[in-house]
Amino acid sequence: MKAFLMHADRDFDLAADLPAQEQALTQDLELDSLLGAMAAGDKLIYDVATRALLLSLRDPDAIAYRQRLLAECLDQPAVVRDLYGLAGEALKAEKSVWGSPLRDSPRSILGSSVQKMELFVEFLRRLRQMADEHSDKFHSEGFVRFFAMLREELDEPYFALIENHLKALRFKGGMLMSARLTTGNKGTGYTLRQQREQGLLERMFDRSGYSFTIPDRDENGFRALSALEERGVNLVANAAAQAVEHVHGFFTMLRVEIGFYLGCVNLAERLAELGEPTAFPVPVAPGALALTGYGLYDVCLRLTTSEPVVGNDVEADQKSLVMITGANQGGKSTFLRSVGLAQLMTQAGMFVGAQSLRVNVCDGVFTHYKREEDESLESGKLDEELARMSEIADRITPNCLLLCNESFAATNEREGSEIARQVLAALLEAGVKVLFVTHMFDLANGFHRRDPDNALFLRAQRGSDGARPFKISEGEPLPTSYGEDSYRKVFGDRLAS
């Protein structure tokens, strides 16, 4: 019995390694605010959402599978919450049974396993009921399969079978175990056996064996007997405890997978409250270069400010380099982040913060951001930047997306430009898509002058009145002149040229 709500044909992998650039992505794209809004205080949802975002899907069909389930969840938020809640309650009830199976004796493992299973059975019955009530409201292949499976597997004969087992495990008629002898003539291989139903008379006249009785005062004898029982019960206790684990695993997986959709529901509700649009993106199979979005905004920024944010339009199909220049405080970083977030959300099967988006699926998202704001030109900083770029180079492959924010600004512009030029040229040739935010005119202009078909140049501009909001629009790099301006402002004089 598999939930298969995250993938059509396999479990969601909670143990898969996150990509090595996980920390950089989380930090640079400020994923915490996105995940926080999805989790709404629930740690499990936070973890599941983290993994779903960072372990990107690469197949447009797999993305569409989740999109269809998510669309139904957005329509039926109450059912999603009930399913998540039921799985949570079942697991909580299991936990309420006292006793740590780790150090316990087989008999106490068996006792607590039977108790847990009795509790689980109630929740399985409720789950079955939910399937009966709601299955007709869902039409996506994922949910149809899921509900059909519950109704088929959890039928009355099955519940009766479980009850029978639970009854047998109370040992009203004593315990029957088989055994053989070790090479030291000790009993071994104790295996609990199902007893034949025997009438009283049959039992009285059964002469097939020999028996003895432990005298009442023989304490050692009773200890020995109890030790024998422990051995006898060992395998059955193991089977029962594993059965509990199976059912536990089932509820856990259900909670995990439905938890992702609940997280998406939470996020959609928040954004709707804030009056922001969301849209299911169109994923384009890897190979083609697609990036066309309208009203694309930075979801994380929106979640942390009280004011509306400006969405940008971008038309960068067929472009492998998008270079963004322009005024400070002009929204360059915000734009870069909105693209990165949209890419990750798309490949998690989520909606994105935009009116619409069409984007190609990539093999991995990488970020290379200037780490600190201060401008001092120490060599250690450049070392650090180069080291990070070198780590990226170790892992990045063609058809990945690299977001650079003021990379190589830790040294002077000439050096920084030269390094960036070489890095960029190499990555672009390798087939990596790069969005590069920079204030290095020398660098941006160099690329612009060559006027390559595969590059798009965007510029951040202040609104016409010089105030917010800022917009990003197509525009060639401009030489910055604020240095001279500043000089003049401070010295009240022109620079001698």
Site string for other proteins, 7-36 (x = CB under 8 A): ----x-------------------------
- Cis status of the peptide bond prior to 77, with omega within 30 of 0: no
Q: Is 252 a residue that touches other proteins (CB under 8 A)?
A: yes
> What is d(CA 333, CA 328) in angstroms, rounded to the nearest whole number?
10
Q: Is 100 a residue that touches other proteins (CB under 8 A)?
A: no
Site for other proteins in 371-390 (CB under 8 A): none
Query: Of residues 29, 31, 73, 177, which one binds other proteins by CB under 8 A?
Result: 177
Segment contacting other proteins (CB under 8 A): 26-34, 175-183, 344-352, 487-495? 175-183
Three-state DSSP state, 103: coil
**Is the torsion defined by CA of 400, 68, 5, 40 positive or negative?**
positive
Q: Is 112 a residue that touches other proteins (CB under 8 A)?
A: no
Containing H/E element for 493?
none
* Minimum gap (Å) between residue 113 Cβ and other proteins: 8
CB 119 within 8 A of CB 94: yes
> What is d(CA 23, CA 3) in angstroms, rounded to the nearest whole number?
30
Q: How many residues bind other proteins (CB under 8 A)?
A: 70
Determine how many CB atoms are found less than 10 A away from the CB of residue 429. 10
Containing H/E element for 32?
helix 31-39
Site for other proteins in 184-203 (CB under 8 A): 184-187, 191-196
Nearer to other proteins, 254 or 291 (CB): 254
Q: Is 231 a residue that touches other proteins (CB under 8 A)?
A: yes
By the 10 Å C-beta count (0-12 exposed, 13-18 middle, 19+ buried), 364 is classed as: buried
> What is d(CA 357, CA 222) in angstroms, rounded to the nearest whole number?
75
Tokens in use for 155?
């039928």
Query: Of residues 18, 97, 168, 327, which one binds other proteins by CB under 8 A?
Result: 168
Containing H/E element for 496?
none
> What is d(CA 177, CA 185) in angstroms, rounded to the nearest whole number?
17
Q: Is 109 a residue that touches other proteins (CB under 8 A)?
A: yes
Q: Is 175 a residue that touches other proteins (CB under 8 A)?
A: yes
Segment contacting other proteins (CB under 8 A): 133-141, 241-249, 361-369, 398-406? 241-249
Query: Of residues 88, 111, 142, 232, which one binds other proteins by CB under 8 A?
Result: 232
Tokens in use for 424?
């960029």
Q: Is 99 a residue that touches other proteins (CB under 8 A)?
A: no
By CB under 8 A, name the binding residues for other proteins. Answer: 1-2, 11, 101, 105-106, 109, 153, 161-162, 165, 168-169, 173-181, 183-187, 191-196, 208-216, 220-222, 224-225, 227-232, 234-243, 245-247, 249-250, 252-253
